[in-house]
């Protein structure tokens, strides 16, 4: 398994090209099931998870290939309606094919995703909504089997705000008979990107980005023609953390600051300086970060996907930071590894108390999930000495060429392939 070797202590300077958003690309790729014909999507990032979604679509009978910056998906010949366990277990977002399959073909057999490192991650709300729209749902040997002649519009209230739950049911509703209302819907920019793409396919959607989304079903949709995925706000946030912790000076190209208001405000409070320039968003790290508290909540609050990277910054900030994780029940897997590097962190339930230390020390550490691995990279870039990060396939799931991008801005980093 590949590992990264990082020698910390350098102030990173230069330009970083932010890639397309993984969490927008995955639902948009799944949405191609909703319409026959050849779909053309631009700026899809080259990531493990994207390749897994491509494999899943190919397994259904779709054609999938990437040509330069275009991802071409052809859903004319879908003849299989099953998302098998061996694919779904590697990527929970596979559940996003469930509703498009039922919406267009009236049937689907999708493996239950099972839990992951950060939590149980049930899909009960996805199934609740689908049932309300008239689907017959059975659970059998770890699979969801869903059937419907034609889905019908319904009013659906999410007890918990769910990003892929909102996306899945939006895709169920676009071909349903009648109107669907999604209440307490997720407001993430990736939900809006999916809605904008569906509207270009002919869907009738109002309110995406707010907590009430109204979808009026249509009889059919046309293929995606040249839709460009939004930039990845979490990759942008991760490089902001890199600038902050190394006292660096980076220009993030292809970043949408409005998607990161909560993160930018928090980092400004911690001493990071932001300047909008013609080339992109300039991010300048201070000599010493100031400890600040953070609490993760659904968008537009501070994102759970930035909690681990922010914690890495706080391990060397001046003062004590209280970080509350409210979205997932077990998203502190990075803490034990950061402590191996000399961080002073105590956990009580969903709250971590981080006392800033003078400097971290390089050590062999292990990635456990996508954002935990990003947190270890951020920490290693400022640690004294050498850090070896094992199991970086977790990082490759969500960051395109991370080691190359870091090397280009001056990091002493090497990927060892075994
Ligand atoms: C999406 O996951 C993202 N993944 C996650 O990003 C992100 O961390 C998460 O949203 C929260 O922002 C993709 O978009 C592919 P949820 P998702 O449904 O949709 C509970 C990354 O790092 N819940 O919004 O799976 C759930 O247990 C990944 O890129 C139910 O109880 O997350 C959690 O506590 C990690 N029942 C909360 O809701 C359900 O049916 C939020 O989960 C669904 C969710």
382 is catalytic: no
Do 193 and 230 contact (CB within 8 A), yes or no?
A: yes
Strand partners, 155: 181
Best of 121, 126, 371 to mutate for ligand 1, by most ligand atoms within 8 A of CB? 121
Our answer on whether the CB atom of 167 is closer than 6 Å to any ligand 1 atom is: no
In the chain, ranges of CATH 3.65.10.10 domains: 3-19+231-416, 22-228
Do 167 and 27 contact (CB within 8 A), yes or no?
A: yes
Do 297 and 266 contact (CB within 8 A), yes or no?
A: no
Do 266 and 276 contact (CB within 8 A), yes or no?
A: no
What's the pLDDT score for residue 312?
98
What's the pLDDT score for residue 119?
81
Distance in angstroms (rounded) separating the CA atoms of residues 240 and 266? 11
The distance from CA 27 to its chain's CA centroid, rounded to whole angstroms, is 11
Scan for tokens 């990161």, then name that residue: 260
Quote the Cα angle for 158-88-80, to 5°: 100
Scan for tokens 């990531």, then name that residue: 47
Best of 19, 22, 23 to mutate for ligand 1, by most ligand atoms within 8 A of CB? 23
Our answer on whether the CB atom of 193 is closer than 6 Å to any ligand 1 atom is: no
What's the pLDDT score for residue 343?
98
What's the pLDDT score for residue 1?
84
Ligand 1: residue whose CA is nearest its atom 26: 121
Q: In the numeric block, which tokens belong to residue 207?
A: 């309110």
What backbone phi and psi angles, to 5 degrees, belong to 221? -120, 160
Atom of ligand 1 nearest to the CA of 125: 40
Atom of ligand 1 nearest to the CA of 371: 22
| CA distances from residue 371 to 30, 239, 307 in whole angstroms, order as listed | 23, 13, 8
Residues contacting 86, CB < 8 A, separation 6+: none
Distance in angstroms (rounded) separating the CA atoms of residues 136 and 238? 42
To the question of whether residue 22 is assigned a binding role by annotation, the answer is yes
Scan for tokens 């009013």, then name that residue: 155
- The count of other CB atoms within 10 Å of the CB of residue 354 is 28
Q: Which of 75, 116, 197, 382 is catalytic?
A: 116
To the question of whether residue 23 is assigned a binding role by annotation, the answer is yes
Distance in angstroms (rounded) separating the CA atoms of residues 283 and 250? 5
Atom of ligand 1 nearest to the CA of 120: 27
To the question of whether residue 16 is assigned a binding role by annotation, the answer is no
User: What is the mean pLDDT of each successive set of 10 residues along the chain, which is 418 residues long?
Assistant: 96 98 98 96 96 97 94 95 93 96 98 80 94 97 96 98 98 98 98 98 98 98 96 98 98 98 98 98 98 98 98 98 96 97 97 98 97 98 98 95 98 94
Residues contacting 163, CB < 8 A, separation 6+: 23, 186, 188, 190, 191, 298
Q: In the numeric block, which tokens belong to residue 256?
A: 């949408």
Torsion sign (Cα): 143, 145, 151, 157: negative
Scan for tokens 């980076």, then name that residue: 250
Ligand 1 centre distance from Cα of residue 93 (Å)? 9
- Closest listed residue to residue 252, CA positions, set 47, 12, 5, 49: 12
Atom of ligand 1 nearest to the CA of 234: 29
- Closest listed residue to residue 288, CA positions, set 362, 385, 359, 380: 359
To the question of whether residue 330 is assigned a binding role by annotation, the answer is no
What's the pLDDT score for residue 418?
79
What's the pLDDT score for residue 120?
76
Alpha helix ranges (H) inside 218-298: 233-246, 261-269
User: What is the Cβ-side half-sphere exposure of residue 168, based on CA atoms within 13 angstroms?
Assistant: 28
- Tell me the CATH number for domain 3-19+231-416: 3.65.10.10
- Closest listed residue to residue 332, CA positions, set 359, 379, 369: 369
Q: In the numeric block, which tokens belong to residue 398?
A: 């969500």
Distance in angstroms (rounded) separating the CA atoms of residues 360 and 390? 18
Best of 47, 114, 163 to mutate for ligand 1, by most ligand atoms within 8 A of CB? 163
Fold of 22-228: UDP-n-acetylglucosamine1-carboxyvinyl-transferase; Chain (3.65.10)
Our answer on whether the CB atom of 194 is closer than 6 Å to any ligand 1 atom is: no
Ligand 1 centre distance from Cα of residue 350 (Å)? 16
Ligand 1: residue whose CA is nearest its atom 44: 162
Q: In the numeric block, which tokens belong to residue 188?
A: 């993430």
Our answer on whether the CB atom of 310 is closer than 6 Å to any ligand 1 atom is: no
To the question of whether residue 327 is assigned a binding role by annotation, the answer is yes
Ligand 1 centre distance from Cα of residue 374 (Å)? 18
- The count of other CB atoms within 10 Å of the CB of residue 134 is 18
Do 72 and 65 contact (CB within 8 A), yes or no?
A: yes
| CA distances from residue 99 to 40, 81, 146, 166, 215 in whole angstroms, order as listed | 21, 11, 9, 11, 14
Cis before 300? omega within 30: yes
Ligand 1 centre distance from Cα of residue 8 (Å)? 32
């Amino acid at each position: 398994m590949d590992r990264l070797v990082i020698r910390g202590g350098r102030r990173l300077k230069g330009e970083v090209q932010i890639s397309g958003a993984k969490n927008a690309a995955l639902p948009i790729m799944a949405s191609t099931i909703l319409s026959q014909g050849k779909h053309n999507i631009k700026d899809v990032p080259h990531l493990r998870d994207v390749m897994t979604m491509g494999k899943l679509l190919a397994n259904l009978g779709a054609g999938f290939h990437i040509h330069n910056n275009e991802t071409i998906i052809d859903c004319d010949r879908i003849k299989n309606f099953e998302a098998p366990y061996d694919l779904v277990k590697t990527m929970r977002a596979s559940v996003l094919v469930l509703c498009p399959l039922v919406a267009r073909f009236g049937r689907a057999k999708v493996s239950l995703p099972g839990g992951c490192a950060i939590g149980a991650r049930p899909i009960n709300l996805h199934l609740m909504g689908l049932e309300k729209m008239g689907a017959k749902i059975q659970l059998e040997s770890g699979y969801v089997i869903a059937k419907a002649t034609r889905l019908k519009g319904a009013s659906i209230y999410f007890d918990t705000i769910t990003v892929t739950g909102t996306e899945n049911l939006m895709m169920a509703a676009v071909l349903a008979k009648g109107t669907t209302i999604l209440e307490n819907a997720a407001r993430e920019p990736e939900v809006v990107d999916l809605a904008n793409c569906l509207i270009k396919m002919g869907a009738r959607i109002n309110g995406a980005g707010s907590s009430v989304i109204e979808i009026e079903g249509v009889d059919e949709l046309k293929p995606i023609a040249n839709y460009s995925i939004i930039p990845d706000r979490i990759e942008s946030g991760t490089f902001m953390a890199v600038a902050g912790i190394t006292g660096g000076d980076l220009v993030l190209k292809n970043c949408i600051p409005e998607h990161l208001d909560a993160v930018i405000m928090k980092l400004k409070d911690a001493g990071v300086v932001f300047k909008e320039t013609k080339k992109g968003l300039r991010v300048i790290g201070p000599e010493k970060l100031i400890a600040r508290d953070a609490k993760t909540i659904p968008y537009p609050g501070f994102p759970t996907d930035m909690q681990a990277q922010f914690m890495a910054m706080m391990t060397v900030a001046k003062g004590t930071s209280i970080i509350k994780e409210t979205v997932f029940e077990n998203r502190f897997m990075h803490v034990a590894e950061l402590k191996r590097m000399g961080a002073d962190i105590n956990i009580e339930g969903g709250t971590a108390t981080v006392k800033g230390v003078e400097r971290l020390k390089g050590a062999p550490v292990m990635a456990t999930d996508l954002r935990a691995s990003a947190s270890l990279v951020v920490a290693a870039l400022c640690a004294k000495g050498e850090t070896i990060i094992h199991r970086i396939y977790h990082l490759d799931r969500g960051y395109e060429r991370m080691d190359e991008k870091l090397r280009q801005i001056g990091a002493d980093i090497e990927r060892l392939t075994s």
